[in-house]
Amino acid sequence: MSDAPDPRELAELFHAVSRTMRRRTLAQLEPWGITPHHARALRSISETDRARLRDVADRLRIAARSATEVVDALEAKGLVTREPDPQDRRATLVSPTEDGLRLVEQIDAARAERNAEFFGALTAEDRAALQRILGSLPLD
């Protein structure tokens, strides 16, 4: 008989941790009225001066139509602007506004604090082991 944990138990524990992190993320973003999906998109857009809408979709691994909806929501909040791509009239460029860049900084600071608190329950060695283990799992 092996002392190794049952994969089903590991999956349940992993799912519980993921749910906890998601709930904490939702609560953290609530004051800004932004969803985790929109926050990810804003972060991605803020990493470039101007991003093509298609590139935003690719980075987020979503359909172009979904990226359009996300950018619509961010634009309605004044967090990004849109303009035609001068190189390709069919393409649209998306840029973060000053408010959008400020929000990314605020979210990053809150996220760093939340993650430090959450993972602070682990020793430095345990965090390193967790990073190594999670990094070895296959990702889509």
Cβ pair 124, 70 in contact under 8 A = no
Instruction: Confirm whether 84 is domain-assigned.
Output: yes
What pLDDT is recorded for position 74?
98
Residue 46: the pLDDT is 96
pLDDT above 80 for 1: no
pLDDT at site 139? 83
Q: Could you tell me if residue 117 is inside a domain?
A: yes
In a domain, 17, yes or no: no
CATH code for the domain of 115: 1.10.10.10
- Position 89 scores a pLDDT of 85
Count of structural domains, the chain: 1
Identify the domain containing residue 87 by its residue range.
29-132
Dihedral, 41, 42, 47, 52 alpha carbons, nearest 10: 60
* Mean pLDDT, rounded, of the chain: 93
